[in-house]
Amino acid sequence: MKKIIFITGATAGFGKAIAFKFAEHGYNVILNGRREDRLRAIEQTLTEQFGAQVLSLAFDIRDRQAVEQSINSLPHDWKKIDVLVNNAGLAAGLSLIQDGQIDDWELMIDTNLKGLLYVSRAIMPLMVNQKSGHIINISSIAGKEAYQKGNVYCATKFAVDALTKSMRIDLLEHGIKVTSIDPGAAETEFSLVRYKGDPERAKKVYEGYEPLKAEDIADIAFFAATRPKHVVLNDIVVTPLAQANTAYIIKKPIDKN
């Protein structure tokens, strides 16, 4: 029987790349995200290209009722979830904490922290019942070290780090693996979202060095999910070669000629 992976935030970036990677390697996939048109397009490609069975669940992970209703009403066969990737998340804005937009703070806390909890709360009992499963939380290097103007985004990722460790302890007796992947700078729609749709500002983040790609994270997620039964990768911090930590990135000047 094919394994099932449930991915939040699968309409772009890491989540989409993870869906492709796992479908290519024989998994059936549950895709989540808010943009239904993208979900349908990805579903069609995964089905046609890899023969995967795909279920698209369009909901906002901040909507507790929608999360519970969507997951509780999964068809029986789809409830045997082998891998949950808690990936949906975002940074909103980049401001000194004293100047921060409270609406941005709420959005990040509601998505990165509360949304992750709602989804996990609905899926963990299924894994406990089946006495197996693997939760992969996409945290960030920002969950290891704070950086200037990162404040609330960093706080949400530090919280994800704490939840990853807590999950590993509380789920230990049920044979459930818990892994954290903590990427540094990766070129996805992340900066476009952070800068509220400003493509010039978003592009600048990745100028002068080679950032990580979504596929790099998908490779790592797949590697983590395919270790022998007795092996758990706890915590994987990954940066581009040009990045040492949240504060040090070597950028070469761009030749504009």
Catalytic residues: 153
Q: Which is nearer to ligand 8X3, 59 or 158 (CB)?
A: 158
Asked if 150 touches ligand 8X3 (CB under 6 A), the answer is yes
Q: Measured between alpha carbons, how far is 42 from 57 in angstroms, rounded to an integer?
A: 12
Asked if 212 touches ligand 8X3 (CB under 6 A), the answer is no
Residue of 185, 212, 220, 221 interacting with ligand 8X3 (CB under 6 A): 185
Q: Measured between alpha carbons, how far is 26 from 52 in angstroms, rounded to an integer?
A: 7
Residue of 7, 17, 18, 142 interacting with ligand 8X3 (CB under 6 A): 142
**Residues engaged in binding ligand NDP (CB under 6 A):** 8-15, 32-35, 60-62, 87-90, 111, 115, 138, 140, 183, 185-186, 188-190, 193
Residue of 32, 56, 112, 140 interacting with ligand 8X3 (CB under 6 A): 140
Q: Give the torsion through C-alpha atoms of 25, 26, 29, 33, to 10 deg.
A: 20
- For 13, 113, 133, 212, 216, the CA distances from 243, given in Å and listed in that order, are 20, 26, 33, 10, 15
Q: Which is nearer to ligand 8X3, 30 or 181 (CB)?
A: 181
C-alpha triplet 69, 158, 14: angle, nearest 5°: 60
Interacting partner of 14 out of ligand NDP, ligand 8X3, none (Cβ under 5 to 8 A depending on kind): ligand NDP
Q: At 209, list the tokens.
A: 């060095």
Query: 126 burial class (0-12, 13-18, 19+ CB within 10 angstroms)?
Result: middle
- Give residues in contact with ligand 8X3 (CB under 6 A): 140-142, 150, 184-185, 246
